[in-house]
Amino acid sequence: MSKNLSELSGRKGLRENLFEELGIASAQTGTPSAEKMDKLAEDFLMGKANVYGAATFYDFMRPENKGKKVYVCNGSSCLTAGTQDALKDTLGKHFKAEEVGEMCCLGRCHENASFHIGGKNYSGKAIEEIESIKESHKAVIDQYHIASSGTPVLTHEFPGVEKYYQTLKLALGKTKEDLLNELKISGLRGRGGAGFPISFKLESAKNTPGAQKYIVCNADEGDPGAYSDRYLLEYQPHSVLLGMMIAGYIVGANAGVVYIRGEYPESIEITEKAIDEIRNLNLLGNNILGSGFDFEFKVIRAMGAYICGEETALLSSIEGQRPEVRVRPPYPTQQGLFNKPTVVNNVETLACIPYIIEQGGSKFTAIGKGKSTGTKLVSLDGFFNKPGIYEVDMGTPLSIVVNDLGGGFRSKIKAMHIGGPLGGLVPVDKINDLSIDFESFNENGFLLGHASVVCIPENYPIIKYIEHLFQFTAHESCGKCFPCRLGSVRGYELVNKAMNSDYKIDRELFTDLITTMEIGSLCALGGGLPLPMRNALQYFETELKPYFEV
């Protein structure tokens, strides 16, 4: 059925997009009206139930969103920072309870106290200006440290649009095979968490027949604590866009979709402006630079669903379907957006491509360590003395990131959750054992992932953090597979009951639960959650002992 719905949605392609139309219909009231959904179902030849099921899945379109005027961040970083209760109290003096909603996460992890109002994000001390913000919706720009240790592949000084796009001219003068070969030599692996070689995806899509192909930038950076994609879209958008264009040339795609989180309004605005800059230089459209290469961009504002960070759920979302994870094969490179060959890659991954094409794959390989080539952006939260975005060569000791770049912790920390909610829970005494590369984290039983760092202070109970992770997964699950949909809820119930009564969790039952999620879930949401759970049981056994049967 979903395959047929993809075809129906694809009748109008990207020009008139069902998901985008649902978002527009939700803009005024927070949720689309029944009449509007019926009309869209008729226009796109979709069933009413399909349209309703899709619209009511997203945080920013579901009926519960109606009438909301301000949103409080409920991400892990703001949670452990302990800033949100006071924030809610202050907002409660200016808004009715039913006008206050929640978002996760706003990417303001460097200073917390984050909230969203009038299409803009605020954090830090901005709440002190709530009266003027409420009246004028004036922007309050956040600031964080940006630096590199090693080679500045992604934190370089931007030379200007015209000069930077000389790399496009260079790429279009080479064969697709030569460009693909440079990416193979570079060893560039996906920076969104999986670490999958980009050259494999590009080659697969290139070799799949099809008159229409797509490049999709997965900018749905939903991992609480991560804001490196936000940095790239706001400070280096042309690295991302040029990377997409070169990828499009290699596989024979003439369209690129930048799917950006609705929680990142500034990123959307800046990316759209950057696309206009390219267009003004006549570098978009048909026969770019007389090469015969055609390419156009489409920016799509996401509507609040963590699961859309999973590539197949993201594709279903663009099509206006309920964003459920698809069973593979077929893979997106064979049958992706509107059933056409599609390459989906993370923001940071695509942003590395221009450097590789300009400097050569061998130079990129020389930067990193082993199979972890190149550099990695790391997001440090507000518990560091110098929170911000740091680019480091792969293989850089974690101790250098924490102590030298981040300036150490401003208060006592017992653990760092690295790599998003599905990443590893790293006790502070393991800092000297790890380096920023895929292999080091895997060998030590953790996950590098997005390389976001959420600190857990000494006074924050690990059991409470576990409860939060289960609750997060239960809320964000697409619901397609039982292990994730049911397991996350049962896990939350077990932990919550143990926290609030004399109930003790059966250790064997708990282990069976997370193992079932790990091996039975369709994607990394349910399948990845057990990792921090196992880390917590391993490294914080004494603290958790009162909640488990002996």
Task: Indicate which CATH number applies to the domain containing 543.
Answer: 1.20.1440.230
Same-domain check for residues 47 and 118? no
Residue 321 domain-assigned (yes or no): yes
User: Do both 326 and 467 map to the same domain?
Assistant: no
Mark which of 367, 395, 424 sits at the end of a domain: 367
- Tell me the β-bridge partners of 77: none
CB 347 within 8 A of CB 232: yes
Domain annotation covers residue 146: no
What are 477's two structure tokens?
């699950």
In a domain, 39, yes or no: yes
The verdict on residue 144 lying in a domain is no
Residues 6+ apart with CB under 8 A from 469: 421, 529, 532, 533
Q: Are residues 157 and 298 in the same domain?
A: yes
Query: Cα(270)–Cα(157) distance, rounded to whole angstroms?
Result: 17
Residues whose CB falls within 8 Å of the CB of residue 306, separated by 6 or more in sequence, listed in order: 104, 220, 222, 472, 476, 525
On whether both 178 and 232 belong to a single domain, the answer is yes
Does residue 518 share a domain with residue 447? no
Q: Are residues 349 and 259 in the same domain?
A: yes
Residue type at 169 in one-letter notation: K
Domain end marker among 338, 367, 396 = 367
User: Do the domain assignments include residue 142?
Assistant: no
Residues 92 and 238 in one domain: no
Secondary structure (3-state) at 23: helix
What per-residue confidence (pLDDT) applies to 534? 98
332 and 288 in one domain?
yes
For residue 145, is it within any domain? no
Helix (H, G, I), strand (E, B) or coil at 50: helix
Q: How far apart are CA 113 and CA 84, in angstroms?
A: 6
- Token reading at 542: 């004494």
Of the candidates 396, 428, 457, which is a domain's last residue? 457
What domain range includes position 285?
152-367
Q: Concatenated DSSP letters for 273-307?
A: HHHHHHHHTT-SBSSGGGSS--BEEEEEE--S-GG
Distance between start and end Cα atoms, the chain = 49
pTM, two decimal places: 0.96
Beta bridge partners of 424: 418
pLDDT digits (tens, 9 = 90+) for 123-140: 999 999 999 998 888 877
Write the DSSP string, 134-185.
HHH--------EEEEES--SSSPPP--HHHHTHHHHHHHTS-HHHHHHHHHH
With respect to residue 141, please indicate whether it lies within any of the assigned structural domains.
no
Alpha carbons 109 and 81: distance in angstroms, whole number: 9
Rounded (10°) CA dihedral 345, 350, 353, 355: -150
One domain for residues 519 and 439: no
> Does 527 lie in the same domain as 502?
yes
Rg (CA), the chain: 23
Residue 1 pLDDT: 44
Asked whether residue 521 is domain-assigned, the answer is yes
Contact residues for 101 (Cβ-Cβ < 8 A; gap 6+) = 59, 65, 68, 70, 71, 72
Residues 350 and 258 in one domain: yes
What is the C-alpha separation between 295 and 283, in angstroms, rounded? 9
* Nearest C-alpha neighbor of 148 from the set 355, 346, 350, 344: 355
Cβ contact 30:56 at 8 Å: no
Nearest one of 357, 377, 378, 374 to 365, comparing CA atoms: 374
pLDDT in tens, 286-303: 999 999 999 999 999 999
Distance of alpha carbon 159 from alpha carbon 239, whole angstroms: 11
Q: Which residues of the chain have pLDDT under 70?
A: 1-2
Count each helix (H run) and each strand (E run) in the chain, helices first: 25, 14
**CATH number reported for the structural domain that contains residue 440 in this entry:** 3.10.20.600
CA distances from 56 to 116, 452, 492 (A): 21, 30, 23
290 and 317 part of one domain: yes
Number of domains in the chain: 5
